[in-house]
Amino acid sequence: MMFDYDDQNIFAKILRGEIPNKTVFENDHALAFEDIQPQAPVHVLVIPKGPYVSLDHFAAAASAEEQAGFFAAVAEVCKVTGVDEGFRAIANTRGHGVQDVPHFHMHIIGGTQLGRMLPK
């Protein structure tokens, strides 16, 4: 699998400060911000700062420090958004997963009963 990163994607522009975002949390390796079209009361995107196109790219190629920093950001987002009753983490990937933005992002969605993961 070849992972080609396009540095003109919208999350790369957010990371460079070229377009604004509503930051929820940031550390050395990750940024978390509000989704512009929230699908639930809590809808935050967590992205690594490195150039990774997808979850499988990030899992295969990111350093241990980058992976730890990313999951530390996930933990912080879950804490500050107060999703104690549960949430859903989604990483849409490529065509079958209907991924729109080709920079790895994890959706953290919650704040309400979400129903089943996929329609039956």
Q: Is 56 in the site for ligand AMP (CB under 6 A)?
A: no
Interface with ligand AMP, residue 68, by CB under 6 A: no
Q: Which class for 108: exposed (0-12), middle (13-18), buried (19 or more C-beta within 10 A)?
A: buried
The span of 47-55, 68-76, 79-87, 91-99 binding ligand AMP (CB under 6 A) equals: 91-99
Q: Each residue of 62-99: b (16+ CB within 10 Å) or e?
A: beeebbebbeebbebbbeebebeeebeeebebeeeeeb
Q: List, by residue number, the catalytic residues.
A: 105
Q: Of 6, 23, 36, 41, which lies in the binding site for ligand AMP, with binding defined by CB under 6 A?
A: 36
Provide the binding-site residues for ligand AMP, judged by CB under 6 A.
Answer: 10, 19, 21, 35-37, 45, 92, 98-101
